[in-house]
Amino acid sequence: MTTTTKSVAPASDYKPDDSGRLLEVDNLFVEFHTAEGVAKAINGVSFDLHQGETLAILGESGSGKSVTAQAIMGILDMPPAVIPSGAIRYCGQDLLTMPEDQRRRARGPEISMIFQDALSSLNPTFPVGWQIGEMFRQHRGMNKSDAYAQAVRLMERVAIPGAKDRVKNYPHQFSGGMRQRIMIAMAIALDPAVLIADEPTTALDVTVQAQIMALLAELQEERQMGLILITHDLGVVADVADRASVMYAGRIVAQAGIEDLYARPAHPYTRGLLESIPRLDQKGQTLAAIGGLPPNLTRIPPGCAFNPRCRMAQDICRTDVPELRHVANQDSACHFAEEVLNG
Amino acid sequence: MADVILKADNLYKHYPIKGGVLRTTTGQVKAVDGVSFELQRGETLGIVGESGCGKSTLGRVLMRLEEPTSGTVNFDGVDMYSQSGSAMRKLRRDIQIVFQDPYTSLNPRKTVGDIIGEPFEIHPDVVPKGGRKKGVQELLEMVGLNPEHINRYPHQFSGGQRQRIGIARGIALRPKVLICDEPVSALDVSVQAQVINLMEKLQDELGLSYIFIAHDLSVVRHISDRVGVMYLGRMVELGTEEQIYQRPTHPYTQALLSAVPVPDPLMRGKREQIVLTGDVPSPANPPSGCRFHTRCFKAQDRCKVDDPELIDRPDGVGEHRSACLFAEPRVIVETVDVSDVEVDTRFASTDVVDLDAFAEDDGLLPADAASVAQGSQVVGETEGPLDRPADTNRLIDDEPTEQRDPRV
């Protein structure tokens, strides 16, 4: 057993390529086979993530953003989930074809995740320090006391006051914001190269949200992690992301650098969303509402999935699925991307 | 003073904490702790605050769903809490509520017609029995739902549509005041604007006054004429939308505003951020003096002792009510007035959206719908004024099925 409490990471088998690319999701499909039919949750999603980069995945409920994250982490329940095709390459190695024990070793030290609801993601019957320490016991073979020492170090890092005294407290003894900090401590415990944050602040109040986002930004800067931020909050994305992918009905419909996405949206859905949210810094604003509802994934409309709600839709939109294509410094999956852009 | 429809005076709502074998009261959760304000006829008063600040309890006390510990509410010249029985029932016609969660606030075993028609049953003299179905259908139309869907069950609707049903029920008796407790916070972003626009339209048409309780400061700014900010059971600042958002004087309001992310990447790093440390203290044991002093960046020794009153304090231009001993205006958000800017309607509509233009009636969940329909027969509800459904198998929304759980 190691005598030092310092956490020494074993040399990684994984090296990002020369461009610093860590993760590459390539034409991924995910389906859920349910009694009501096949729900096509993800329909050909591709993106990549580089070191030190924050990629936001924006979407409403049912758009497939969380399923994408779960597919990357390898925590989808299969069945009912099925991955008919696609690849998720981490440093060039396909996670989907990798043997399970190898993938398990990567989950934590290489890629880790922060879940939305900290209360239901933490085990209520174990002290938080035990749960954070589990990462070190499982992956580094540490003994109990060393693992606890590591847990204290991490709890201090995520600014939990009185970490030493609270390491043996149970999750219910912490507030929502503190629980989310504990989740973050667990996620960064083994210095992952990729961190996925699935709606990390949705359940929190704004003042606490600001604290958590500031902490995440700081940790990312310090460790040069690639961060995938999954959210529906356009405000949070504008504040922290470098790039964003907008998802609708299991596809990426728009992908752009953050400034282009907000200033020059090239997809009617993105544009509609931006015009439909009230802004704190504007008064007398008219809200333009997108009609209708996001589609049911068991019966996605033919052609462009957004066509029944799109005010620009033409005949071609009802028959042909638009490919994600490059238009003026960004990607848009709209037959009329140029018109949207110049309109 | 202008036309005041509702005036709350020194409202308190304390919940006892019971403990020990004898269930003796060991403490009090001070959910609402001395709140006073007035609501003008036809205006929207926004109430903002973080979770646990007492804003929802305030809504319930105003509806008299909970009896206050002390304090009075004067509604249109009548002291609400001294009314009893039939007088209170009559008063309830004028003040109604829309709840936060459209998934739990509608009875899954009743049809939409029964749900919206229930206020007519409780107040039979409002609409004669024969006209109730028509009344419900008119309400459905007003909130942008298809009047033919009167016999459907809540699970056949999506979240946004359910919230419309909740609103239809709220306005069924043509109340004067509608209390809206987080009416849009459970909805998807693209659906939120539909419901907000609907509420604005109804306010114009029916001359409603709203108390709009929400935690989303952007939404509150959009819809409110005046805004009250709550912290730990107290109102800490109260003023017009402009006073609160452009010249806030209370440090808590300032911190709250600075924490809201603005959906504009060009503003990144340019906004002033006041990061509060720590969490909201427990309302069972609020701090002495000013309740915010434990997290306040301006706190001095005095704040631990003196409890500041909510009184008019200067805000640079005029004055508005603020409960801070060291109140001073500070610009947190640079506001752009966009009231003259035309919205490009090629991408989305500024009207209230008619959902039926998008309804595709091809989805089926026969097993679920049938079981729910059966359930309501078995329970044997008293005969409603409305026709029983013949066909409940068709879905009218397009929501992912995994979010739907009709077997509640």
Task: Give the CATH number, domain containing residue A218.
Answer: 3.40.50.300
A43 and A189 belong to one structural domain: yes
Structure tokens at B211: 């108390």
Q: Where are the beta strands (DSSP E) in B162-318?
A: 177-181, 209-214, 226-231, 234-240, 311-314
Residue B119 to residue B127: CA distance in whole angstroms = 10
- Please list, residue by residue across B12-43, b when 16 or more beta carbons sit within 10 angstroms of its beta carbon and e when fewer do: bbbbeeeeeeeeeeeebbbbbbbbebbbbebb
In the predicted model, what is the mean pLDDT of residues A194-216?
86
A12 belongs to a structural domain: no
Q: Is residue A4 part of a domain?
A: no
Say if residue A134 is in the same domain as residue A214.
yes
Residue A273 in any domain: the answer is yes
Whether B238 shows a pLDDT value over 60: the answer reads yes
What pLDDT, in 10s, does the model give residues A109-135? 899 999 887 778 889 999 999 999 998
CB contact under 8 A, A259 and B266: yes
Number of domains in chain A: 2
pLDDT of residue B407: 38
Contact B345 A291 (CB under 8 A): no
Domain extent at residue A264: 248-278+287-342
User: Side chain identity at B6, as an amino acid letter?
Assistant: L
Q: Does residue A5 belong to any structural domain of this protein? A: no
Q: How far is A291 from chain B (nearest CA, A)?
A: 6
Q: Specify whether A167 is located in the same domain as A233.
A: yes
Residue-wise pLDDT for B139-157, tens only, equals 998 888 888 888 988 888 8
Residues of A in contact with B350 (CB under 8 A): 286-289
Cα B112 to Cα A134, B169, B381, distances in angstroms? 50, 9, 14
Weakest-pLDDT range from A217-226, B148-157, B338-347: B338-347
Nearest to B35 by CA among B63, B72, B64: B72
Judge whether B396 is closer than 8 Å to chain A, CB to CB: no
Question: How many angstroms away from the CA of A209 is the closest CA of chain B?
Answer: 8
Residue type, A315: D
Number of Cβ atoms within 10 Å of the Cβ of B379: 9
Rounded CA separation B383/B365 (Å): 26
Let me know if residue A62 belongs to a domain: yes
- Are A289 and A33 a contacting pair, CB within 8 Å? no
User: What letter represents residue B269's amino acid?
Assistant: G
Q: Residues with Cβ < 8 Å from A33, sequence gap 6 or more?
A: A79, A80, A82
Same domain, A228 and A271: no
Peptide bond into A16 cis (omega under 30): no
Note which residues in 286-315 of chain B have CB less than 8 A from chain A. Answer: none
Inside any domain, residue A115: yes
Q: What single-letter amino acid sits at B274?
A: I
Assigned token pair, B302: 């005095």
Whether residue A261 sits in one domain with residue A182: no
The verdict on A330 and A182 lying in the same domain is no
| Domain C-terminal end among A186, A221, A241 | A241
CA nearest to B403, candidates B162, B222, B151? B162
- Which residues in chain B have their CB less than 8 angstroms from residue A60's CB? 188-190
Calpha distance B219→B240 (Å, rounded): 15
Q: What is the predicted pLDDT for the residue at A25?
A: 94
Mean pLDDT of chain A: 87
Cα–Cα distance measured from residue B185 to residue B235, given in angstroms and rounded to the nearest whole number: 22
Closest-CA distance, B259 to chain A, in angstroms, reads 5
Q: Are B388 and B109 in contact (CB under 8 A)?
A: no
Chain B residues close to A297, C-beta within 8 Å: 400-401
d(CA B350, nearest CA chain A) in Å: 4
Determine how many CB atoms are found less than 10 A away from the CB of residue B131.
13
Say whether pLDDT at B108 is over 70.
yes
Taking the CA of residue B275 and the nearest CA in chain A, the distance in Å comes to 7
Residues A235, A93 share a domain: yes
Q: Are residues A170 and A299 in the same domain?
A: no
Confidence band (pLDDT; 50, 70, 90) for B235?
very high
What integer is the mean pLDDT of A29-43? 88
From the list A178, A189, A187, A235, the residue with the least C-alpha distance to A212 is: A178
Asked if A174 and A139 sit in the same domain, the reply is yes
Same domain, residue pair A180 and A266 = no
Residue window 364-383, chain B: list those with CB within 8 Å of chain A. Answer: 365
Cβ-Cβ contacts under 8 Å, B188 against chain A: 60-61, 232, 294
CA distance A89 to chain B (A): 29
| pLDDT tens, position by position, A147-193 | 999 999 889 888 888 888 888 999 888 887 888 889 988 988 888 99
| pLDDT (mean) for A71-94 | 89
Q: Would you say residue A335 has pLDDT above 50?
A: yes
Within this chain, do residues A49 and A185 fall inside the same structural domain, yes or no? Answer: yes
Kindly state the percentage of chain A with pLDDT values over 70: 97
- Is residue B393 within 8 Å of residue B371, measured between CB atoms? no
Measured between beta carbons, the chain B residues lying within 8 angstroms of A61 are 188, 400, 403
Per the prediction, chain B carries an average pLDDT of: 81
What is the structure's pLDDT at A309?
Answer: 87
Cα–Cα dist B18/A155, whole Å: 34
d(CA B78, CA A251): 57
Chain A contact for B267 (CB, 8 A cutoff): yes
Nearest CB to B338 within list A209, A276, A285? A285
Are A228 and A312 found together in one domain? no
Whether A36 is in a domain gets the answer yes
Check CB contact under 8 Å for B266 and A263: yes
C-beta atoms of B350 and A288 within 8 A: yes
Q: How far apart are CA B240 and CA B265, in angstroms?
A: 28
Chain B hits for A272, Cβ within 8 Å: 190, 347-348
Mean pLDDT confidence for B93-105? 87
| pLDDT score of B398 | 38
Residue A155 covered by a domain: yes
Structure tokens at B236: 């800490």
Q: What is the DSSP letter of B287?
A: P
pLDDT tens string B276-320: 877 788 888 889 999 999 999 988 899 999 999 999 999 888 999
Least Cα distance to B164 among B186, B48, B63, B92 occurs for: B186
Q: Are A284 and B339 in contact (CB under 8 A)?
A: yes
- Which residue of chain A is at minimal alpha-carbon distance from B342? A286
Which residues in chain A have Cβ-Cβ distances shorter than 8 Å to B279? 175, 177-178, 208
B29, containing H or E segment: strand B24-40
Q: Which residues contact B134 (CB under 8 A, 6 or more apart)?
A: none
pLDDT the model gives residue B404 = 38
State the pTM of this model. Answer: 0.83
